[in-house]
């Protein structure tokens, strides 16, 4: 009896250890679950008490509800394009719809679909392929809700924006992001005249977003989504060339869009302002008042009697601001000036001898030859060829496989005789002829060539899409 009593406490300890061994994990797990449950309840209570996310959601929903009735889906049918589409937005109550020029390039029929399901035939009122802007007009005046615009306000890096459009055909979609940078010049784009100065955003933009509005937190247009070519297939439709969204997308700024639209609507054509100066191709910096360093574009020459000369602009001036826009690169300067109509007055700030001075310039009219010279490399890329003067003749130096030039039957070594019925003897005449014949608007252009070993010319028809 004593041995049983003596071993009793030890047995109790052993039993306790056994119980702890098997029941302990379950007890600890229960405690852990209880703690997790407590954290869940606390987080839920915080979410119920703090409505900041609800207010953010409400603001985003309000942006959608205020914007989507002004967004349109654009269906395009062309001679060799079927089912191509993009987006656009209502500009005014007179039936003007805004989109990209490349969306309607070569169109034989355009249909504008509104958010409520209505579909209206659209007439292409005018296009400007050099800025990739187009105006479509619909006959209806009912149910048009013009987009409010942030006119006169400069977008800022970090600003939240929403891109609207029809990515991959999913109509009336929206994606949010921020403005990543300003004054961008993508390596390949749908703009021919180097008038880019694009807004860069990280909002998801995909094929079909082209022409849709980019709006700020108050639902105002700050830019228009523009397709960026990846050069995967030279000469194809810009919508076909686009890659999927990779966190980098671009938009034409409103300050470029408005002057072009007003010219198309009021005059049916676009004329471009001209300073008549030469300038350095890269951004320069110089010290100014108070020791501050100012960025800008350096003037290398001022042509006597030109608009800039008459306004008092001088060689070696550093242009730091034009038309209320900071000059953050060559494209910013070129785009603001070219988007203004000849005869209009534009203000500029220049840094001269360490002092800032204001200059007001009455812009001249940009000669066509200047515009085409700037656009020629981009036109050649879309055609898929390279031409050069050789021994007083214009020859095709190279034809890229799969491009429009090769598909039309143009071969390397061909001598170019005429474009659109006009004789050509230089590369500049070639591109002027192509542009005048409507190549950039999607028209078919007749080109007469003669092979190196042939006596007879042959006629081919060239078109870009």
Tokens 């005869």 correspond to 343
CATH T-level fold of 372-462: Pdz3 Domain (2.30.42)
Superfamily designation of domain 273-365: PDZ domain (2.30.42.10)
Instruction: Please enumerate in sequence order all residues whose Cβ is within 8 A of that of 321, keeping only pairs 6 or more positions apart, or say none.
Output: 296, 327, 348, 349
Tokens of 409: 């039957």
Q: Quick one: 152 exposed, middle or buried, by C-beta within 10 A (0-12, 13-18, 19+)?
A: exposed
Q: What is the pLDDT of residue 231?
A: 40
Q: Please tell me the distance from the alpha carbon of residue 281 to that of residue 299, in angstroms, as a whole number.
A: 10
Domain boundaries, given as residue ranges, for the chain = 2-50, 63-267, 273-365, 372-462
Enzyme catalytic residues: 102, 132, 210
pLDDT digit string, tens, across residues 103-141: 999 899 999 999 999 999 999 999 999 999 999 999 999
Q: What is the mean pLDDT of residues 389-412?
A: 91
pTM above 0.85, yes or no: no
pLDDT digit string, tens, across residues 189-240: 556 766 778 999 999 888 899 999 999 999 999 999 985 544 443 444 444 4
| Coil vs helix vs strand at 386 | strand
pLDDT beyond 90 at 411: yes
Report the Cα–Cα distance between both ends of the chain, in Å, rounded.
106
Is there a contact between 339 and 290 (Cβ–Cβ < 8 Å)? no
Q: What's the helix, strand, coil split of the chain in %, to 5?
A: 30, 35, 35
Q: What is the mean pLDDT of residues 84-112?
A: 94
DSSP state of 391: T
CA nearest neighbour of 224 among 150, 152, 171: 150
Q: Give percent of the chain with pLDDT exceeding 90.
A: 62
pLDDT digit string, tens, across residues 330-379: 888 988 899 888 999 999 999 999 999 999 999 999 998 888 888 898 89
Query: Do 273-365 and 372-462 have matching folds?
Result: yes
Is there a contact between 99 and 88 (Cβ–Cβ < 8 Å)? yes
Q: What is the pLDDT of residue 184?
A: 83
DSSP state of 236: S
CATH assignment of 63-267?
2.40.10.120
Is there a contact between 137 and 179 (Cβ–Cβ < 8 Å)? no
Q: What is the pLDDT of residue 232?
A: 43
Q: What is the mean pLDDT of residues 89-102?
A: 96
Least confidently predicted of 82-86, 320-324, 327-331, 339-343: 82-86
Instruction: Please enumerate in sequence order all residues whose Cβ is within 8 A of that of 156, keeping only pairs 6 or more positions apart, or say none.
Output: 179, 182
pLDDT digit string, tens, across residues 148-184: 999 989 899 999 999 999 998 899 999 999 999 988 8
| Coil vs helix vs strand at 198 | strand
Helices 254-267 and 330-338 pack at an angle, to 10 degrees, of: 20
| Coil vs helix vs strand at 170 | coil
Q: Please tell me the distance from the alpha carbon of residue 209 to that of residue 174, in angstroms, as a whole number.
A: 9
Instruction: Please enumerate in sequence order all residues whose Cβ is within 8 A of that of 56, keeping only pairs 6 or more positions apart, or say none.
Output: none
Q: Which residue has the higher pLDDT, 441 or 7?
A: 441
Tokens of 452: 């190196």
């Amino acid at each position: 009896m004593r041995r049983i009593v003596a071993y009793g406490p030890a047995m109790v300890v052993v039993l306790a250890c056994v119980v702890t061994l098997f029941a302990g994990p379950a007890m600890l797990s229960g405690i852990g679950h209880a703690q997790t449950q407590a954290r869940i309840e606390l987080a839920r209570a915080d979410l119920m008490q703090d409505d900041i996310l609800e207010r953010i959601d409400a603001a985003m929903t309000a942006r959608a509800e205020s914007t989507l009735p002004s967004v349109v889906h654009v269906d395009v049918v062309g001679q060799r394009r079927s089912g191509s589409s993009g987006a656009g937005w209502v500009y005014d109550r007179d039936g003007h719809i805004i989109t990209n020029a490349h969306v309607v390039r070569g169109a034989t029929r355009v249909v504008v679909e509104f958010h409520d399901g209505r579909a209206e035939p659209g007439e292409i009122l005018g296009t400007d392929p050099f800025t990739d802007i187009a105006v479509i007009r619909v006959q209806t005046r009912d149910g048009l809700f013009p987009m409010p615009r942030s006119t006169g306000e400069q977008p800022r890096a970090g600003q939240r924006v929403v891109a609207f459009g029809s990515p991959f055909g999913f109509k009336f979609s929206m994606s949010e992001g921020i403005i990543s940078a300003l004054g961008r010049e993508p390596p390949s784009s749908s703009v021919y005249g180097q008038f880019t100065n694009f807004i860069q955003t990280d909002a998801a933009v995909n094929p079909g977003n082209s022409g849709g509005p980019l709006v700020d937190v108050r639902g105002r247009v700050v830019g228009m989504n523009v397709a960026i070519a990846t050069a995967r297939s030279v000469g194809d439709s810009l919508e076909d060339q686009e890659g999927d969204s990779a966190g980098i997308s671009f938009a034409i700024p409103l300050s470029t869009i408005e002057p072009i639209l007003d010219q198309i609507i009021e005059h049916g054509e676009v004329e471009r302002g001209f300073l008549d100066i030469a300038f350095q191709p890269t951004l320069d910096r110089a010290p100014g008042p108070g020791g501050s360093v100012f960025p800008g574009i350096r003037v290398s020459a001022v042509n006597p009697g030109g608009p800039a000369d008459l306004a008092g602009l001088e060689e070696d001036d550093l242009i730091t601001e034009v038309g209320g826009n900071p000059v953050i690169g060559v494209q910013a300067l070129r785009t603001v000036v070219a988007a203004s109509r000849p005869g209009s007055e534009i203000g500029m700030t220049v840094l001269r001898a360490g002092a800032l001075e204001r200059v007001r310039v009455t812009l001249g009219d940009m000669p066509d030859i200047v515009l085409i010279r700037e656009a020629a490399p981009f036109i050649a890329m879309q055609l898929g060829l390279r031409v050069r003067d050789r021994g007083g003749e214009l020859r095709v130096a190279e034809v890229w496989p799969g491009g429009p030039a090769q598909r039309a039957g143009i071969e390397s070594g061909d001598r170019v005789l005429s474009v659109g019925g006009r004789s050509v003897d230089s590369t500049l005449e070639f591109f002027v002829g192509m542009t005048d014949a409507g190549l950039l608007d999607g028209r078919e252009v007749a080109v007469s060539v003669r092979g190196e070993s042939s006596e007879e010319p042959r006629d081919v028809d060239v078109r870009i899409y």
